[in-house]
A and B are shown apart, each in its own frame.
Chain A
Amino acid sequence: MSELSSTELSSNAKKVIEEHLGRYPSKQAVTLPALHVVQEEKGCVSRKAIKEIADILELSPAQINDTLSFYGFFRTEEDPLGKKRVWICRSLPCMLRGGEELLAELCERWGIQPGQTTPDGEVTLELAECLGACDGAPCMLIDDELSLCVTADDVEKQVRGRA
């Protein structure tokens, strides 16, 4: 993030976007890969990043923003992610085995609501719809790694390094 340039996109992000351009017959198809790499690096996609992605893909920034805002997954600069993003599943198979209680317990322990980040900027807590690990309900996702059959203590240990 301390790039010696005034651009918002890192040289790695530009390289990843460039690599993807060869894989699709349209530049617009690189929108999701571009949003993913930027959010992974910075925890959000800023308005400046949207503009720069749009320039590379020869689109209007409004088109990038349209796609970004459709998927609740991406965060804007007003609402960045913490260092870790923890998703707790609340869909039926997890609800039947304590998913809702787990989410409520974590909200209480961390003093935040789903969607919010702990004041120290460490963890963003999210509620998830079916994560595809119903054989291990309740389950959670940390960034993009699933954990099965978790308790609130397991979550604390994995996320905060303490029980």
Chain B
Amino acid sequence: MSHEEFKPILLARQGKPNSHKLATYQADGGYQALAKALAMKNTDVVDVVKASGLRGRGGAGFPTGLKWTFLPKDLNGPVYLCINGDESEPGTFNNRVLIEQDPHQVLEGIVISSFATRTTTAYFYLRYEYGRCYRVLKDAIDEMVDNNLLGKNILGSGYDLDIHLHRGACAYICGEETGLIESLEGKRAWPRIKPPFPAIEGAFRRPTVVNNVETMACIPHILNRGAEWFMSMGIPRDPNNTRDAGSYGPKLYCISGHVNKPGLVELPMGISARDLIDKHGGGVWKGRKAKAVVPGGISMGFMSEKELDTPLDFAGPGRVGCLGLGTAAVIVIDDHTSMIDVLYNACRFFAHESCGQCTPCREGTAWSTKILERIREGRGKLSDIDVLLEISSSIGTIPGTTICGLADGAAWPIKTAINKFRPEFEEYIKSGRKSESRSLAAAH
């Protein structure tokens, strides 16, 4: 299927009047997938999702059905499903739009996934900043309870489920799945050492699955239209690489930064960054050129202008030195912008959001920010560049020095900015200029 012929699936109801209401959703066939799933064996639902090749949309791209199979077969107590709605990766806003405009699509996916995983209590962890989403979800859940789509004996199937909304408190680390679990339990959101993985020991020390909001929105469509239909979209797995799981299905791409038309676009996986910007983002603003592009949230690092033909599937960004596809949040930076200011902004973000548990992350993010502050004040040294690179290669789960991946996300913007724009850093430091950016000192 070409990108031109594609009709939105997850965003099909965007902009329709009352798109958030149960009646609108049901008029479009909503909750038929749930009825279908409830008539199946729960393990057959798992098999369909597994066969579809659906990979988690939250950033790591782990195969969803496979994750569900890690739950113990014999249960001696409850299983929990936690929905990760702590969307906080800079550039990312697809969960917000999905929930505000079409909450029932997400909720139907949650009920089906809960049934598949034998969950009877699901927790929807939602970032505090999404107040409108919170109220929309609350109303939608009430509608479901009133219509026997939630609660006891759902649609006469004998299956019971409650969904509880749980609001966060403005901390990026709660998007890390074990940080989320700790936060849900009422503690500071310090990620846990794995193993044990949540499927074995998660929320309240019970087997737990943590799934992303966009992932949930895909589930009803997979049940309705089948695994083969889902696999007809996107980039197939590389037959020469046994570790490649492919990039199937539709994907929401968030476009922001220096484009004429920032917004949310749904396309089959694998469009190039250049086509996304030119055909769907209205091109770079003010007739300028792109200097750098973030492929999937700031923690993925930067692509240079030369690399913009890279396909935005799970494997593409990694081939040009980025950390991965991440959240598919594309941030465009024009050629009038200083990469020193951009990198400083990224480093400051991670210094602010490091949870402080692991010393390499806490110190590495703080010092990289301080070094860049000094460079921006015109007091940088050429040797600072290599110190920044040294920090970036020594923090994170990849060098094995931290518990979670936040520090890998902090390292990649540094690595890619310096490796791809080193002459700009050298020229800036030699010039001794002060940054023209009006940003305030690193308060907080």
Residue of B nearest to A28 (CB): B186
Task: Using known A-B contacts A130-B91, A144-B129, determine if residue A33 contacts B166 with beta carbons closer than 8 Å.
Answer: yes
Q: Considering the complex, which residues of chain A in the window 134-163 have a beta carbon less than 8 Å from any beta carbon of chain B?
A: 134-137, 141, 143-146
Residue of B nearest to A39 (CB): B169
Assess whether A96 is in contact with B337, with CB atoms less than 8 Å apart: yes
- CA A95 to CA B257, docked complex, whole Å: 9
Nearest Cβ in chain B — how far from A71, in angstroms?
4
Residue of A nearest to B255 (CB): A135
Residue of A nearest to B78 (CB): A25
- Closest 5 interchain pairs by CB? A144-B131, A31-B186, A70-B188, A134-B256, A71-B169
Which residues of chain B are near A104, meaning CB under 8 Å? 438-440
- CA A66 to CA B357, docked complex, whole Å: 14
B: interface residue count bin: 35 or more
Which residues of chain A are near B162, meaning CB under 8 Å? 23
- CA A91 to CA B58, docked complex, whole Å: 19
Nearest Cβ in chain A — how far from B126, in angstroms?
11
Nearest Cβ in chain B — how far from A101, in angstroms?
5
Interface flags, A99-136, vs B, CB<8A=1, else 0: 01101100100000111000000000001111111111
Nearest Cβ in chain B — how far from A36, in angstroms?
6
B352 at the interface (CB under 8 A from A): yes
- CA A53 to CA B187, docked complex, whole Å: 14
- CA A137 to CA B440, docked complex, whole Å: 18
Q: List residues of chain A with CB under 8 Å of any chain B CB.
A: 23-26, 28-33, 35-36, 57, 63, 66-67, 70-74, 87, 90-93, 95-97, 100-101, 103-104, 107, 113-115, 127-137, 141, 143-146
Which residue in B95, B131, B186, B294 is a CB contact (below 8 Å) of A92? B294
Task: Using known A-B contacts A93-B90, A93-B91, A130-B92, determine if residue A36 contacts B167 with beta carbons closer than 8 Å.
Answer: yes
Task: Using known A-B contacts A100-B437, A134-B256, determine if residue A115 contacts B93 with beta carbons closer than 8 Å.
Answer: no
Which residue in A29, A74, A93, A100 is a CB contact (below 8 Å) of B169? A74
Interface flags, B419-433, vs A, CB<8A=1, else 0: 000000000000000
Which residue in B132, B183, B184, B257 is a CB contact (below 8 Å) of A146? B132
- CA A23 to CA B124, docked complex, whole Å: 12
B371 at the interface (CB under 8 A from A): no
- Interface hit among B64-72, B107-115, B342-350, B401-409: B342-350
Task: Using known A-B contacts A28-B187, A70-B188, A91-B349, determine if residue A114 contacts B257 with beta carbons closer than 8 Å.
Answer: no
Which residues of chain A are near B251, meaning CB under 8 Å? none
Nearest Cβ in chain B — how far from A47, in angstroms?
18
Pick from B170, B186, B355, B440 the residue with the most CB of A within 10 Å.
B186
Assess whether A26 is in contact with B185, with CB atoms less than 8 Å apart: yes
Which residue in B186, B189, B345 is a CB contact (below 8 Å) of A91? B345
Which residue in A23, A30, A87, A114 is a CB contact (below 8 Å) of B186? A30
Which residue in A91, A100, A103, A132 is a CB contact (below 8 Å) of B130? A132
Which residue in B170, B263, B333 is a CB contact (below 8 Å) of A96? B333
- CA A72 to CA B443, docked complex, whole Å: 13
Assess whether B256 is in contact with A135, with CB atoms less than 8 Å apart: yes
Assess whether A29 is in contact with B95, with CB atoms less than 8 Å apart: no
Which residue in A28, A92, A127 is a CB contact (below 8 Å) of B91? A92
29 contacts between A and B (CB under 8 A): A25-B78, A29-B184, A32-B168, A32-B183, A35-B169, A36-B169, A70-B171, A70-B355, A71-B171, A73-B128, A73-B170, A90-B345, A90-B439, A92-B294, A93-B257, A95-B341, A95-B437, A113-B443, A114-B443, A115-B443, A128-B129, A130-B172, A132-B93, A133-B93, A134-B331, A135-B255, A137-B256, A144-B130, A146-B131
